[in-house]
Amino acid sequence: MTASPDSPLATLWCPSPNREPRVNGRAPDMLVLHYTGMDSAEAALDWLTREESKVSCHYLVDEDGRITQIVREEERAWHAGQSRWAGETDLNSCSIGIEIHNPGHEFGYHDFPDAQMQAVEALCRDIFTRHPIRPERVLAHSDIAPGRKRDPGEKFDWARLAKFGIGLWVEPAPVSSELGLGPGDEGEPVATLQQELAAFGYGVEITGTYGRGLENVVEAFQRHFRPERIDGRADASTRDTLKRLLAAVQGTPVA
């Protein structure tokens, strides 16, 4: 390991022992964004670089915008945990993980400061100069581990990032009082929803039954793409937003 970070934007280099070669030498083509969910960025850095934690990431972004590199981009960091996207389950091998300091839902979740967002934007764009990462492969930890993870959460400004060419975003359809599909529903509309979520990349089975697993995935989708209401129900706004995102990925206009 060299003594210098991959990114010129990283002003600190604190190597973590929690790393290994990427399986089959896989080149990263996914970006996973997290919040630390801890009291302070210092505590997070300590944890991410401690052998017994068995966790790490490639970069940590402090609230003031300071960037620390922890694992070389060519190596496999341990940030995704049990996760799934587009049929793959070893997401640590194909991704670069960025921890963005925020106490998170359990310790006083708050907005991400401007200086921190600017640093995240600059870092993502810098990573793109070394690795081709498609917009739809810039994901939240909650997208790849629905029901288990909520980070970086609904306060994370994905729309702002998209303005800088980072990640996929469409303006969410307006929320209405229509309840749509929800837990307990069954049949063709539920199967169609499951197919669309799976086509987008979410780990969802096509069962035709709206169970807890689907509710978790819909919540994860809303947290990222329709944060105004996160209730796990596939209302018209949620379904319409999903359809337009799918069309954007597939490069076809919505009929």
Residues forming contacts to Zn ion in the complex (CB under 5 A) are 34, 141, 151
**Number of residues assigned to the chain:** 255
Which one from 73, 75, 99, 196 is the annotated catalytic residue? 99
Q: Which is nearer to Zn ion, 61 or 246 (CB)?
A: 61
Q: Which is nearer to Zn ion, 73 or 151 (CB)?
A: 151
One-letter amino acid at 193 equals: L
Q: Is 99 a catalytic residue?
A: yes
Q: Which is nearer to Zn ion, 167 or 172 (CB)?
A: 167
CA distances from 232 to 69, 147, 153 (A): 35, 11, 14
> Is residue 85 classed as helix, strand or coil in its secondary structure?
strand
Q: Which is nearer to Zn ion, 151 or 235 (CB)?
A: 151
Q: Which is nearer to Zn ion, 22 or 150 (CB)?
A: 150
Alpha-carbon gap, residue 200 to 254, rounded angstroms: 15
Token couple for 210: 């709206």
Q: What angle do CA 113, 114, 119 make, to 5 degrees?
A: 100
Contact indicator for 96, 30 with CB cutoff of 8 Å: yes
> Is residue 149 classed as helix, strand or coil in its secondary structure?
coil
Please, what is the minimum distance in Å from the beta carbon of residue 187 to Zn ion? 34
Q: What angle do CA 29, 34, 39 make, to 5 degrees?
A: 155
DSSP class per residue in 9-65: T--EE---S-EEEPGGGPPP-EEEEEE--SS-HHHHHHHHT-GGG----SEEE-TTS
Q: What is the bridge-based pairing of β-strands 59-61 and 67-69?
A: antiparallel
User: Active-site positions?
Assistant: 99
